[in-house]
Structure 1
Amino acid sequence: MRERGRARRLIGLGARTGGALVRTRLGGEADWRALGEALFEGLSELKGPAMKLAQIMAQWDDLLPADLADELSRLQRQAEPMPWPDIRRTLVEAHGDLDSHFHEIEERPFASASMGQVHRAVTRDGETLVLKVQYPGLAEVLESDLSQLRRLMRLGRWLKVPQARIDALFEELATSLRGELDYRAEARALARYRQRYVHLENLVIPEPLPEYCTQRVLAMRYVAGTPLRELETADDALRQRLAATLADWLTEELFTHGELHADPHAGNFAADDRGRLVIYDLGAVIPVPEARLVAMMRLLEATLDGDPMAMDSALLDLGGRQGQGAPLALYREAAEAVAPLFAPGERDFGDVRVHRRLRDLSPKVWAAMDRLQPPADTLLLSRTLNGHYWNLVRLGGRLDMQARSRPLLDWARRRPMG
């Protein structure tokens, strides 16, 4: 990874993106599909921060033009793998003579991500495991990449994204990427989550193997599974079980343990042959303070009550509203859009009418962003929960959200703010 060459590639991709945005702002038409293909090819090869940002942006289904979002979403499942000799070099640096540890390592990865790729391996004892290997040289170029990425992200202003939101997204990304460089931390998270959620029978978290783990190599027992993104046409009973498990797990994560798995793209989840939900990646786990949860639930309560003034007050407590706040009419529209998900009985996350209404509301929210400027931790929570919402949509989950939210609202009422 040569820093100068990477910088030129990033600048070139930024210029092409900027040109498309300028044409749009001047009343012309941009070829979003062609731009998406160029970004996919370039970012797939470069890996690292820029590819991570594109994956994050693709999760926001309502943020980008549809053709551009479709192309960027391929980065979650079709990214170009790094050549085996480069990956092998990292493994040799970590383990020395590979033949003394492994009977076989598959040279072709079965998953390629922004920070590393995953190879199946068999130990000398005949045990099948997976090795998540960090791309070589990534730590050395990370800060340079981030510097270029900050410049690239300024193009977000052409999409009328407020500078405060751009800055918050950048800080979130930078913090996350620096933390994801240490695979030992992810191994500890896997061990912690396995112990914590052992009572959830329909949840599977692969076991880390510390003897094979280093800062740049994460080893886990192999757990086969069908990726969540391939389950949209699967048996309905299976999809409902997975949706319920996902919702149960997220609720316990937040309200019992005060943590959140913060990388919700569909490639991190699968179903095993027993129909259990598998979570493969715990590289991004963030703490969620109780005060933040209380404020979020009070915002939800005000929203379900359809009370614009209470919604505005709750946003102020969250630190997510500036100046005079948003127009009361926008609060009312937001409440009307969210309310169907919390009506009595099971609500169908696959009902396109619900998320189409939320999507249609999005431009009005963006237009008010000069007064709605969430701090970085609120932005991260919002982005993560939005990603899990779309996972439930993909599964066509039917959940009784009113019954699920009632005890959480009661919990929030019993706790002081701040």
Structure 2
Amino acid sequence: MRERGRTRRLLGLGARTGGALIRTRLGGQADWRALGEALFEGLSELKGPAMKLAQIMSQWDDLLPPDLAEELSRLQRQAEPMPWESIRRPLEAHFKDLDATFREIEPRPFASASMGQVHRAVTRQGETVVLKVQYPGLEQVLERDLVQVRRLMRLGRWLNVPQARLDALFEELAVSLRGELDYHAEAEALARYRARYAHLEHLVIPEPLPDLCGPHVLAMRYVAGTPLRELEDAEDALRQRIATTLADWLTEELFTHGELHADPHAGNFAADDQGRLVIYDLGAVILVPEARLSAMMRLLEATLAMDPMAMDEALLALGGRQGQGAPLSLYREAAEAIAPLFTPGPSDFGDVRVHRRLRELSPKVWAAMDRLQPPVDTLLLSRTLNGHYWNLVRLGARLDMHARTRPLLARTTA
């Protein structure tokens, strides 16, 4: 799509979204399903930053209207692929002679994302691999698209999100997208994670193939798996094994290595035929400084103690809530909503009562956003943890979060 038409399409989608927000703000009704369908169709075709933003938003299951969240979540698994001829060009530019390297490349991708799509291939040696191919011309359109995405994000003011926070979210998105263009960095992350977590027998990370990789092509050994979103009706034992492995891995990532997989949408995770958790995408990995992690754990400790004043002090220490007037009643409600997940014994992430309380709490949190002012440098971390939480919800996880968090609280808040 030419630049002018692309910009016009993005602005049109933004205007439609803004109109729905205005109607609801004025007490009217918005057709969230119709809006979601329009966003899915438009963003699925456009790809790039706007589609990535919608994927991020769809992970906030407790924020968006359910019909809108359901439609946007399709971008994680059903996005319209780019035509094969468009993808073949960067492959030919990298490999020169495709027939000399591959016996076969499947024209139909088995995964389409915001920045690239994945094709299965068989090498001349008979090995099945996957090729993650960056959409052609993406580097050129990225910065222009980001200008339009910044305009779209201004709609967040209708949700009482302070402009400074919207700007911070935009910068987070821009840095993340620019980083995802670096396929060499993702190949290095795959190799690093494979070595680091080799002791986790129920975790699988595909092996990168450096001889086949390039700036716009990432080659990995093929690992078959059932996507996480398709596990909701799987046997309970499998779901609990995947959930436990996911929780173990995330805990080690954060508290041992100070890193976090920052793209938690469900399409990046699967279960293989041995019931192991497969992680397909490491294009977004963030550093989590120990001081920031300790400060967030102090906030969790105050929350579990049902101490609104200590929660406010912890938020202030994090760099949030710059104004006057601590929302103590909101702190109490937040603590009451979160506490059930941390009582002794297995916590049921499938308990709809917990989700209902979180959904009821979300509008109040957003309404108080100008007072809370969450710290800018925790936005990506909190958004990521929220995405991983909802993956555990989809699995119907039963985890003893009390036993898991007590040693961590003792270690990080000492």
1:96 to partner: Cα distance: 0.6
User: How far, CA to CA, are the matches of 1:344 and 1:221 in structure 2?
Assistant: 41
Write out per-residue CA displacement over residues 62-83 of structure 1, whole angstroms, 9 at most, x where no aligned residue: 2211111111111001100000
Structure 1 partner of 2:267: 267
Deviation per CA, 1:245-290: give whole Å up to 9, x if none: 0000000000000000000000000000000000000000000000
Provide the residue aligned with 1:281 in structure 2. 281
Aligned pairs for 1:249-328 (under 5 A) are 249-324=249-324, 326-328=326-328
Alignment of 1:10-409 (within 5 A): 10-324=10-324, 326-409=326-409
Q: What's the secondary structure of 1:220's corresponding residue?
A: strand
Q: What is the aligned-residue RMSD (CA, Å)? A: 1.0
| CA shift digits 1:359-380 (9 cap, x unpaired) | 1111111111111122333010
Question: What is the alpha-carbon distance in structure 2 between the residues aligned to residue 219 and residue 28 of structure 1?
Answer: 50
SS in structure 1 at match of 2:403: helix
Give, in angstroms, the shift of residue 324 of structure 1: 2.1
CA distance in 2, matches of 1:22, 1:308: 33
**Is residue 111–residue 117 contact of structure 1 (8 Å, CA) maintained in 2?**
yes
Amino acid at match of 2:112: S
TM-score, structure 1 as length reference: 0.97
- Aligned AA (2:370): D
Deviations 1:105-159 (A, max 9, x none): 0000000000000000000100000000000000001000000110111112123
Give the deviation of 1:161 after TM superposition: 2.5
**Greater Cα offset, 261-270 or 31-40:** 31-40
The 1-side partners of 2:27 and 2:341 are apart by 37
Unaligned runs of 5+ in 2: none
**1:339 offset after TM fit, Å?**
0.9
Q: Do the aligned residues in 1 keep the contact of 2:62 with 2:355 (CA within 8 Å)?
A: no
Deviation at 1:22, TM superposition (A): 2.2
Give the conservation status (yes or no) of the 8 Å contact 1:189–1:282. yes
1-structure distance, mates of 2:413, 2:148 = 45
* Structure 2 residue identity aligned to 1:231: L
Deviations 1:149-186 (A, max 9, x none): 10111112123322222112111100000000011100
Q: Which amino acid aligns with 1:327?
A: P
- Alignment check: 8 A CA contact 1:44 1:75 kept: yes
Identity, % of aligned positions: 84
Total equivalences in the alignment: 414
Maintained 8 Å contact 1:171/1:376: no
| Structure 1 partner of 2:9 | 9
Aligned residue for 1:99, secondary structure, equals helix
Compute the displacement of 1:221 (Å): 0.2
Per the alignment, in what secondary structure is the counterpart of residue 109 of structure 1? coil
- C-alpha distance in 2, partners of 1:159/1:333? 20
Q: Secondary structure at the match of 2:274?
A: coil
Q: Which runs of 4+ in 1 moved over 3 A?
A: none
Kindly provide the amino acid, as one letter, of the partner of residue 27 in structure 1: G
Whether contact under 8 Å (1:254, 1:260) holds in the other structure is: yes
Give the letter aligned to residue 126 of structure 2: G
CA–CA separation in structure 2 for the residues paired with 1:182 and 1:325: 44
| Structure 1: distance between partners of 2:330 and 2:214 | 50
**Which SS does the other structure have where 1:300 is aligned?**
helix
Q: What's the offset of the Cα at 1:335?
A: 1.0
State the distance in 1 between where 2:396 and 2:188 align: 33
Q: Note the alpha carbon deviations across 1:290-331, whole angstroms, 9 max, x for none.
A: 001100111111111111111111111112222125311111
Equivalents in 2 of 1:252, 1:39: separation in Å? 37
Query: Is the 2:10–2:148 contact (alpha carbons within 8 Å) kept by the matching residues of 1?
Result: yes
- Give 3-state SS (helix, strand or coil) of 1:240's partner: helix
Q: TM-score, with normalisation over the residues of structure 2? A: 0.98
How big is the shift at 1:13?
0.9
Report the more deviating stretch, 26-35 or 87-96: 26-35
Shift of 1:28: 2.4
